[in-house]
Amino acid sequence: MSDITLQDLSDALANDEFVYYYQPKVSMLSGKICGAEALIRWLRADGTLVSPAAFIPFAETTGFIKEITLAMFQKLIVDLNIINDAKDSIVVSFNASAKDFHDNKLVDAIRYAIQHKQLDADLLEVELTETVFLNDGKHVRQNLELLEQMGVALAMDDYGTGFSSIDTLARWPFSTIKLDQGIISKLEDSMKEFTIAQSSIHMAHQLELGVVAEGIESEHMYKLLQNMGCMLAQGYWISRPVALAEFLDFCRTRTIWPVQPIGLLHLAQLDHIQWRKAIIDGVFYLGLRKDSNEIRGAPESDPQTCRLGRWFYGAGREYSGTKWYDEFEQQHIHLHDVGMKLLESAKQGASKSTQTSLMRELTEKSVIVIGMLQQLENRLIAEHS
């Protein structure tokens, strides 16, 4: 398709030859399909199917992509309603290019659809690659902020391939990152890629962003990512992108993919260690800055809303009703009491011996909490192996 012309694209659009294929995303927590990515295909009159790599870059350079995206968005609305009528609501994402945000047309079309109840903002996500941000300034930012205000989620596609992923993440309103296939495919053979994936998942967790691993081609890869605490999976091992009717059939099979909560349990342990570190840092800081009572990055005081608490009262509910659950809850609440007492004592400038004794108590409680999390981990490993 190297001799593709603008006229070809324009004819294809006029003849309604562009369609979306859908590739499911699976929640590694529930093992169920919880989303899908819409990927464009050019279905030519002679029955051949042209992949986006063959025409999207050309459409982007010529600017014709804007016409394509606008037309495809109208199709997406129809498809989304069919999908959500047939299945419990799932989030569907579509890919957009930098040029789609150079003017307001796409954002206006999305706003119109939401306001006229043609689609639910909560069920829509836009995938963008970093090139969008590297080359474009104010206008793109305004448009993406408008999307965020409308409640439409933004995912950073191909995370880990750009020059400034971290900087981009810090400055733009993303709610999800999609770990690039290039990293995923080398996980099994390269310690470097393994570490990049692992630390990206940790970072996303700290920033409270979702993580999708794309390009999962084997069960082993799926399980590896699950162990790292990744929550969403997409790839040929689950399903290739397929036409709408086939996607609906696929959803109907109600397959359940493996669920294994150990990755999240590891993240919960890390959360606890970070929380404890934030307390100790706070005590040192207050000791140094006698003139200030405020600490930056103050640890969460409420055991229900700290990160460990969110795991415990969220995914951790799975273990409620057990002796372990009730005991852990008590220990965790005590831990927070001690942590807050310690910070307060530092703020009040309490004596060294009072602070040291509270710090010792904090360590003791922390050891109990970590011990209990590891006890659960051992049980889960025994159950899942």
235 binds ligand C2E (CB under 6 A): yes
Q: What is d(CA 218, CA 238) in angstroms, rounded to the nearest whole number?
A: 9
261 binds, among ligand C2E, Mg ion, none (CB under 5 to 8 A by kind): none
CB of 299 within 8 A of CB of 339? yes
Smallest Cα–Cα separation from 93: which of 42, 151, 141, 154?
Answer: 154
236 binds ligand C2E (CB under 6 A): yes
Q: Binders of ligand C2E: how many residues, by CB under 6 A?
A: 24
Which residue in 56, 70, 146, 315 binds ligand C2E (CB under 6 A)?
A: 56
Residue 266 beta carbon to ligand C2E: minimum distance, rounded to whole angstroms: 25
Binding track over 122-161 against ligand C2E, x by CB under 6 A:
-----x-----------------------------xx---
271 binds Mg ion (CB under 5 A): no
What residues pair up with 93 in beta bridges, in sequence order?
A: 37, 125
53 binds, among Mg ion, ligand C2E, none (CB under 5 to 8 A by kind): ligand C2E
217 binds ligand C2E (CB under 6 A): yes
Q: What is d(CA 251, CA 26) in angstroms, rounded to the nearest whole number?
A: 11
Which residue in 130, 158, 193, 271 binds Mg ion (CB under 5 A)?
A: 158
H/E stretch holding 365 reads helix 352-384
Residue 186 beta carbon to Mg ion: minimum distance, rounded to whole angstroms: 15
Q: Binders of Mg ion: how many residues, by CB under 5 A?
A: 4
127 binds Mg ion (CB under 5 A): yes
Which residue in 29, 39, 154, 346 binds ligand C2E (CB under 6 A)?
A: 39
Q: What is d(CA 222, CA 230) in angstroms, rounded to the nearest whole number?
A: 9
Residue 126 beta carbon to ligand C2E: minimum distance, rounded to whole angstroms: 10
130 binds Mg ion (CB under 5 A): no
R_g of the chain computed on alpha carbons: 24
Residue 60 beta carbon to ligand C2E: minimum distance, rounded to whole angstroms: 7
241 binds ligand C2E (CB under 6 A): yes
Span near ligand C2E by CB under 6 A; candidates 47-55, 145-153, 322-330, 367-375: 47-55
157 binds Mg ion (CB under 5 A): yes
Residues 6+ apart with CB under 8 A from 35: 24, 25, 90, 91, 92, 93, 125, 232
CB of 98 within 8 A of CB of 140? yes
125 binds Mg ion (CB under 5 A): no
Q: What is d(CA 38, CA 72) in angstroms, rounded to the nearest whole number?
A: 10
Q: Which two tokens stand for residue 102?
A: 């150079």
Which residue in 80, 97, 272, 362 binds ligand C2E (CB under 6 A)?
A: 97
H/E stretch holding 347 reads helix 323-347
The smaller minimum CB distance to ligand C2E, of residues 53 and 288, is found at 53
Span near ligand C2E by CB under 6 A; candidates 51-59, 110-118, 222-230, 354-362: 51-59
The 3-class SS string of 272-284 reads HHHHHHHHHHHHH
271 binds, among Mg ion, ligand C2E, none (CB under 5 to 8 A by kind): none
Span near ligand C2E by CB under 6 A; candidates 52-60, 139-147, 186-194, 197-205: 52-60
Question: 169 in helix, strand or coil?
Answer: helix
> Strand 18-27 and strand 91-95: pairing?
unpaired
Q: What is d(CA 129, CA 80) in angstroms, rounded to the nearest whole number?
A: 23
The smaller minimum CB distance to ligand C2E, of residues 37 and 271, is found at 37
260 binds ligand C2E (CB under 6 A): no
Question: 233 in helix, strand or coil?
Answer: strand
Q: Which two tokens stand for residue 363?
A: 């360590």
Give just the sign of the alpha carbon dihedral 211, 217, 218, 224: negative
Residue 218 beta carbon to ligand C2E: minimum distance, rounded to whole angstroms: 9
**HSE of 46 in the Cβ direction (CA atoms, 13 Å)?**
2
* Residues at the interface with ligand C2E (CB under 6 A): 23, 39-40, 51-53, 56, 65, 72, 94-97, 127, 157-158, 181, 214-217, 235-236, 241
